[in-house]
């Protein structure tokens, strides 16, 4: 019996002679990631372990993104702790104004290679599966062990093969692909598995869209969402890294725990209703719902692709008087590119406020928390009760076209009614 992509990567990063779902193996890390929330927690656990040194400074990356820019003294202390620890241990540190949101940033900087193992103190570390890597979020105690010893224990997951066929419609994006998957299997349907995306429809997705798909894999309960590396992956990495890498693909006789099919010809723009990403419906089913806040950006959909889509929807128009629109480019590089392309001017002219890269609005930490009774349509990844502010607020999830269209209309609306 052959191996899946994930099984091959885990086998190559362990001392096992064979791996299969359910088996526990110790896996070596290529990159260990933490942020201003999870990093300080991991440092404390390292101290309790009696570990004073890191296993390899070149393989550790710290990013200030959750509470950056600091909203108060407590968050400033967390960022200060992250920076001081990083400087003391000689690890890579991205401060505010110099980096961006961790998951988009690492891919942009060429730090994620196909066939590698990336672990992070954040559940959306699964995003890096878009590059053909095995990537998973770990708790701070496990991250502490990874920082000290460069390895972690992993139950070998099964693999759910997702075959994507057909062609995307005018306002359909990678966000709709993963929402369609979650609609099929539910928020816990991928537990104990990874999602492996194959087929012509998956290969047609850009790297930006693959990032959006992989980012929400954890919302299906999956360890990660992985795209086998292809020509688009190679083109993206050209000039971003000088390290060698080899694509990893599943064997023809690999065993899968389940197989799903997504037909893009039959998939329109989708929206996940409160209070769970599995509550997926078509835009038409929630059309007319008043929207008080729109967020375009964050680690799920803050790429140039998303900013272009949002700018297309609002160009020459105004954000509705009852709605505020917040745009969060995922990295400083994306921010500057959007300025150079004129996208930021279009968005600001329409009435949007543009934030420095930050996770703040997504988890309700700052820069866009919701008040009681407010509805938000956001391109973020979670819409749990109280996720983005008041527990009496509601968050709807959708792609950048859908979000920006709602900003103009002041309510959920089919993007085709805003830009024919």
For residue 405, what is the domain's CATH number? 3.30.499.10
Examine the domain organization and report whether 95 and 208 are in the same domain: yes
Examine the domain organization and report whether 229 and 279 are in the same domain: no
Examine the domain organization and report whether 347 and 305 are in the same domain: yes
Examine the domain organization and report whether 248 and 298 are in the same domain: no
Domain boundary residue among 240, 263, 286? 263
| Residue 261 Cα distances to 131, 163, 331, angstroms | 21, 5, 33
Domain boundary residue among 204, 236, 263? 263
**Bridge partners for 28 per DSSP:** 151
Examine the domain organization and report whether 252 and 277 are in the same domain: no
**For residue 5, how far is the Cα from the chain centroid?**
20
pTM over 0.85: yes
Contacts of 32 (CB under 8 A, 6+ apart): 59, 60, 61, 119, 120, 143, 146, 147, 150
pLDDT at residue number 420? 86
**Exposure pattern of 183-197 as b/e (b: 16+ CB <10 Å)?**
bebebebbebbbbbb
Examine the domain organization and report whether 66 and 196 are in the same domain: yes
Examine the domain organization and report whether 257 and 310 are in the same domain: no
Examine the domain organization and report whether 216 and 238 are in the same domain: yes
Examine the domain organization and report whether 178 and 92 are in the same domain: yes
Q: 36, 104, 41: which is closest to 70 by C-alpha?
A: 36
Q: Is 270 in contact with 286 (CB distance < 8 Å)?
A: no
| Residue 232 Cα distances to 4, 28, 214, 327, angstroms | 21, 27, 16, 27
pLDDT at residue number 1? 83
Examine the domain organization and report whether 251 and 348 are in the same domain: no
Domain boundary residue among 202, 229, 263? 263
Q: 240, 254, 270, 274: which is closest to 107 by C-alpha?
A: 240
Q: pLDDT (tens digit, 0 to 9) for every residue of the chain, 420 residues total? A: 899 999 999 999 999 999 999 999 999 999 999 999 999 999 999 999 999 999 999 999 999 999 999 999 999 999 999 999 999 999 999 999 999 999 999 999 999 999 999 999 999 999 999 999 999 999 999 999 999 999 999 999 999 999 999 999 999 999 999 999 999 999 999 999 999 999 999 999 999 999 999 999 999 999 999 999 999 999 999 999 999 999 999 999 999 999 999 999 999 999 999 999 999 999 999 999 999 999 999 899 999 999 999 999 999 999 999 999 999 999 999 999 999 999 999 999 999 999 999 999 999 899 999 999 999 999 999 999 999 999 999 999 999 999 999 999 999 999 999 998
Q: How far is 361 from 354, CA to CA, in rounded Å? A: 12
Q: How far is 365 from 69, CA to CA, in rounded Å? A: 11
- For the chain, what is the domain count? 2
Examine the domain organization and report whether 322 and 213 are in the same domain: no
Examine the domain organization and report whether 202 and 308 are in the same domain: no
**Which element (helix H / strand E) includes 346?**
helix 343-350
- Give the end-to-end CA distance of the chain in Å, rounded to a whole number: 51
**For residue 192, how far is the Cα from the chain centroid?**
19
Range of the domain at 186: 5-263
Cis peptide before 295 (omega within 30 of 0): no
């Amino acid at each position: 019996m052959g191996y899946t992509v994930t099984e091959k990567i885990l086998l190559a990063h362990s001392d096992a002679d064979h791996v299969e779902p359910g088996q526990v193996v110790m896996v070596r890390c290529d990159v260990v990631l933490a942020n201003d929330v999870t990093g300080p927690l991991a440092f404390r656990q390292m101290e309790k372990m009696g570990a004073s040194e890191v296993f390899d400074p070149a393989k550790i990356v710290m990013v200030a993104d959750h509470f950056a820019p600091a909203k108060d003294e407590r968050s400033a202390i967390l960022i200060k702790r992250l920076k001081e620890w990083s400087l003391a241990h000689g690890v890579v540190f991205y401060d505010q104004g110099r980096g961006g949101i961790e998951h988009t940033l690492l891919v942009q900087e060429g730090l994620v290679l196909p066939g590698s193992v990336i672990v992070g103190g954040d559940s959306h570390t699964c995003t890096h599966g878009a590059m053909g890597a095995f990537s998973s979020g770990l708790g701070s105690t496990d991250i502490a062990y990874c920082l000290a010893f460069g390895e972690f224990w992993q139950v070998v997951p099964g693999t759910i093969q997702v075959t994507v066929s057909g062609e995307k419609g005018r306002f359909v994006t990678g966000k709709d692909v993963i929402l369609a998957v979650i609609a099929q299997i539910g928020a816990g349907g991928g537990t104990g598995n990874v999602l492996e995306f194959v087929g012509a429809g998956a290969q047609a997705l850009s790297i930006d869209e693959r990032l959006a798909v992989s980012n929400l894999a954890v919302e299906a309960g999956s360890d990660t969402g992985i795209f086998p590396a292809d020509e688009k992956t190679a083109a993206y990495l050209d000039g971003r890294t000088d390290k060698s890498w080899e694509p990893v693909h599943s064997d023809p006789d690999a065993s899968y725990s389940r197989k799903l099919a997504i037909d893009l010809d039959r998939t329109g723009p989708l929206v996940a209703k409160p209070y769970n990403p599995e509550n997926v419906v078509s835009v038409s089913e929630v059309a007319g719902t008043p929207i008080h806040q729109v967020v375009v950006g964050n680690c799920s959909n803050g790429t140039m692709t998303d900013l272009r889509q949002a700018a297309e929807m609002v160009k020459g128009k105004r954000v509705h008087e009852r709605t505020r629109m917040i745009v969060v480019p995922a990295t400083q590089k994306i921010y500057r590119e959007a300025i150079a392309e004129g996208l930021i001017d279009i968005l600001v002219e329409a009435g949007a406020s543009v934030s420095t890269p930050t996770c703040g609005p997504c988890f309700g930490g700052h820069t866009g928390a919701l008040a009681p009774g407010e509805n938000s349509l956001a391109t973020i990844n979670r819409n749990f009760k109280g996720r983005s502010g008041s527990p009496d607020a509601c968050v709807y999830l959708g792609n950048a076209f859908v979000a920006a269209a709602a900003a103009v209309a002041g309510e959920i609306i089919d993007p085709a009614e805003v830009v024919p």
